[in-house]
Amino acid sequence: MEYFNGLHLNMGNISRLSKAKTRSITAENFKGEKGAGGMSTDGVSWSAAQDLGQGWKVSPCIHLEANSVTTLAEIEGPGAIQHIWITTFARYWRSLILRFYWDGEESPSIEAPFGDFFCNGWTEYCHVNSLPISANPHSAFNSYWEMPFRKSARVTIENLLDKPVQPMFYQFDYTLTDVPEDVGYLHAQWRRNNPLPYKEVHTIVDGIKGMGHYVGTYMAWGSNNRGWWG
């Protein structure tokens, strides 16, 4: 019997059986180990759950040290990240840099400020309701981009501030399964002109080579001229 590999899930194939193994990395299960969720005994809501005992979620979170890089997820493949939920205060969104590394690469395939990756580029909450990205009230960011890798995946976040950032809540849902040869990697890049010189051109994408799909652009746009939107 041939089993579905668990990638490219949608409502049209959700009944397909799969031998893929699903895992979840959180602030209370940093390695996504089986049966290791809900083990935290502290967190910002520990007082509300203190009588429940270990095994109940007590809103575990992390804090990011000043001028530091923190590893959020490190996964041995093959497999794919299928969902990310993450949140922190809006005032930090442009001071935190997300980076994704596939298969042990030295330079990240994804590098962008925290808020911009989730289509919130002005450090102010903006509701987003789309298939790949969802930004919900109280700054709950979700990514549904499928992010396959064949050997490993590593996700880091850099705090550029001279002070700690806290709290940060997050969850990475991923699957461990075979990745077909024709499946590509996700890439994302952030570019900024502030301000854009008069009558100059802002380049959205450049230097792309090889086979792939251009899946879109999010742009945070501000106008420095009166009487014209841009």
User: For the chain, which domains are there?
Assistant: 22-32+59-189 (2.60.120.1390)
Answer whether residue 1 shows pLDDT above 60.
no
According to the model, what pLDDT value does residue 60 have?
83
- The DSSP element (H or E) to which 117 belongs, if any, is helix 114-117
* Residue 108 pLDDT class (50, 70, 90 cuts): very high
- On the question of pLDDT at 99 being above 90, the answer is yes
- Residue from 110, 142, 114 nearest 129 by CA: 142
- Residue partners of 225: CB distance under 8 A and separation at least 6: none
pLDDT at 101: 98
Lowest mean pLDDT among 24-33, 67-76, 100-109: 24-33
Q: Mean pLDDT throughout 221-228?
A: 79
Distances (CA, A) of 56 to 5, 41, 62, 71: 32, 9, 17, 24
Task: Quote the pTM value.
Answer: 0.93
Q: What is the mean pLDDT of residues 28-51?
A: 82
Length of the chain equals: 230
The Cα–Cα gap between 217 and 230 comes to 17
Residues 52-70: tens digit of each pLDDT: 777 777 778 999 999 999 9
d(CA 62, CA 69): 13
